[in-house]
């Protein structure tokens, strides 16, 4: 249950991104907000990971300790991908997610883009987990994911027609997010500390998205609201949220985690209703209820891997 709570807390933080963007300074495009979030968050996460590693090394080092220790731990479990290759793939998935997610949102709006991405990510994660880790999703995951996807569909049921290229971008974002979580779990299975794994993935992803950051209009960052929004997105929704997510991912399957993160659109819908005066229709209320039931069912029935 602690792992489930960690993942749900991360999803709540993720759910604040849309509202934060809406409340940011005028002129903050979705693309520049996404690039700033990843670059700021990736830089902070790399720093946090380095400090955490140095502290752990200082605690465990003794007179007989070797003069130099590798920053990357040795593998403790076998897997279909080496841990270091999985970290690079997860970073690439995170970078692709930032680009395609915000492009899909720009094409079809926040509601449709977010809902399509998050509703499909558990399905992608289940497929990738089967391909890369040889784990087939169980029946509780299938039932809860199906119910949650229905709930997400009800949340966006009144959004109207969508642009096909934008939908393809959102589907790609969902695949990138699912791939990122599956690959992030591989170094955790190899014995990496969650802070180390997240620091490497986010730090590399921040480097990959930095060219996008400098190519966008960033004048909104000079305004107090814009700077505050970038700080919240980088620190709260990257550093804190992904630390919580990795801690939960160490004990749960990636498919289960992506289903639990469907609490994100529910959080976004509630924040929009409370803070942005957005309407919450009967369909939306039914969707929130369906997601809540699905998450409660999954939290009670999802098995966790055995301790190494």
The pLDDT-based confidence of 240 (bands split at 50, 70, 90) is very high
Query: Looking at 145-149, 152-156, 174-178, 213-217, which range is the least confident one?
Result: 152-156
Inform me whether the pLDDT recorded for 206 exceeds 70.
Answer: yes
Q: Can you tell me the distance from the alpha carbon of 187 to that of 72, in angstroms, rounded to the nearest whole number?
A: 10
Residue 70, Cβ density class (10 Å: 0-12 exposed, 13-18 middle, ≥19 buried):
exposed
Q: Please give the helix or strand (H or E) that residue 14 lies within, else none.
A: helix 2-14
Given a contact cutoff of 8 angstroms between Cβ atoms, the answer to whether 201 and 184 are in contact is yes
Task: State residue 75's pLDDT score.
Answer: 42
Query: Looking at 29-33, 180-184, 207-211, which range is the least confident one?
Result: 29-33
Query: Looking at 46-60, 89-103, 242-256, 284-298, which range is the least confident one?
Result: 284-298
Task: State residue 21's pLDDT score.
Answer: 75
DSSP string, 3-57: HHHHHHHHHHHHTTHHHHHHHS-TT--HHHHHHHHHHHHHHHHHHHHHHHHHHHH
Task: State residue 179's pLDDT score.
Answer: 92
User: For the chain, what is the mean pLDDT?
Assistant: 77
Residue 138 has which token pair?
A: 């169980």
Residue with tokens 């590399």: 204
Q: Mean of the pLDDT values across residues 39-64?
A: 78
For residue 141, which of 256, 288, 233 has the smallest C-alpha distance?
256
Task: State residue 78's pLDDT score.
Answer: 42
% residues pLDDT > 90 (the chain): 10
Q: What's the pTM value of the predicted model, to 2 decimals?
A: 0.74
Question: Rounded to a whole number, what is the distance in angstroms from the first to the last CA of the chain?
Answer: 19
Q: Mean of the pLDDT values across residues 40-52?
A: 86
Q: Mean of the pLDDT values across residues 276-298?
A: 69
| 275 against 87, higher pLDDT | 87
Spell out a b/e string for 162-174, using b for 16 or more CB atoms within 10 Å of the CB, else e.
Answer: bbeebbebbbbbb
Q: Can you tell me the distance from the alpha carbon of 128 to that of 276, in angstroms, rounded to the nearest whole number?
A: 36
The pLDDT-based confidence of 236 (bands split at 50, 70, 90) is very high
Task: State residue 98's pLDDT score.
Answer: 81
Task: State residue 276's pLDDT score.
Answer: 64
DSSP string, 209-227: HHHHHHTS--GGGGSHHHH
Residue 126 has which token pair?
A: 């289940």
Q: Mean of the pLDDT values across residues 199-220?
A: 88
The pLDDT-based confidence of 297 (bands split at 50, 70, 90) is confident
For residue 287, which of 165, 154, 100 has the smallest C-alpha distance?
154
% residues pLDDT > 70 (the chain): 78
CB within 8 Å of 94: residues ≥ 6 apart: 38, 176, 180, 201, 202, 205
Spell out a b/e string for 185-205, using b for 16 or more CB atoms within 10 Å of the CB, else e.
Answer: bbbbbbebbbbbbbbbbbbbb
Residue 9 has which token pair?
A: 């807390």
Q: Mean of the pLDDT values across residues 70-87?
A: 61
Structure confidence by residue, pLDDT tens digits, 83-99: 889 999 999 999 898 88
Give the angle subtended at the CA of 116 by the CAs of 112 and 122, to the nearest 5°: 155
Task: State residue 109's pLDDT score.
Answer: 66
């Amino acid at each position: 249950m602690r792992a489930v709570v960690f993942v749900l807390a991360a999803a709540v933080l993720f759910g604040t991104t849309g509202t934060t963007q809406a409340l940011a300074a005028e002129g903050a495009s979705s693309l520049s907000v996404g690039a700033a979030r990843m670059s700021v968050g990736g830089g902070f996460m790399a720093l946090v990971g380095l400090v955490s590693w140095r502290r752990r090394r200082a605690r465990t080092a003794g007179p007989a300790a070797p003069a130099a220790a590798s920053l990357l731990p040795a593998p403790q479990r076998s897997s279909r991908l080496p841990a270091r290759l999985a970290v690079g793939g997860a970073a690439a998935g995170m970078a692709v997610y930032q680009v395609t997610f915000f492009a899909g949102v720009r094409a079809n709006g926040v509601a449709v883009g977010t809902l399509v991405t998050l509703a499909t990510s558990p399905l992608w994660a289940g497929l990738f987990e089967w391909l890369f880790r040889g784990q087939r999703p169980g029946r509780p995951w299938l039932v809860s994911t199906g119910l949650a996807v229905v709930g997400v569909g009800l949340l966006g049921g009144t959004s109207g027609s969508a642009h096909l290229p934008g939908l393809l971008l959102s589907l790609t974002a969902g695949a990138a997010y699912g791939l990122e979580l599956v690959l992030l779990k591989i170094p955790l299975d190899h014995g990496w500390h969650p802070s180390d794994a997240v620091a490497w993935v986010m730090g590399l992803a921040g480097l990959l998205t930095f060219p996008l950051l400098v190519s966008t209009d960033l004048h909104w960052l000079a305004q107090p609201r814009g700077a505050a929004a970038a700080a919240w997105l980088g620190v709260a929704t990257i550093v804190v949220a992904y630390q919580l997510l990795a801690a939960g991912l160490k004990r749960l399957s990636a498919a289960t985690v992506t289903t639990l993160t469907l609490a994100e659109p529910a959080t976004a819908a509630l924040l929009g209703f409370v803070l942005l005066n957005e309407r919450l229709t009967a369909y939306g209320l039914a969707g929130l209820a369906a997601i809540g039931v699905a998450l409660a069912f999954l939290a009670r029935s999802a098995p966790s891997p055995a301790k190494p």
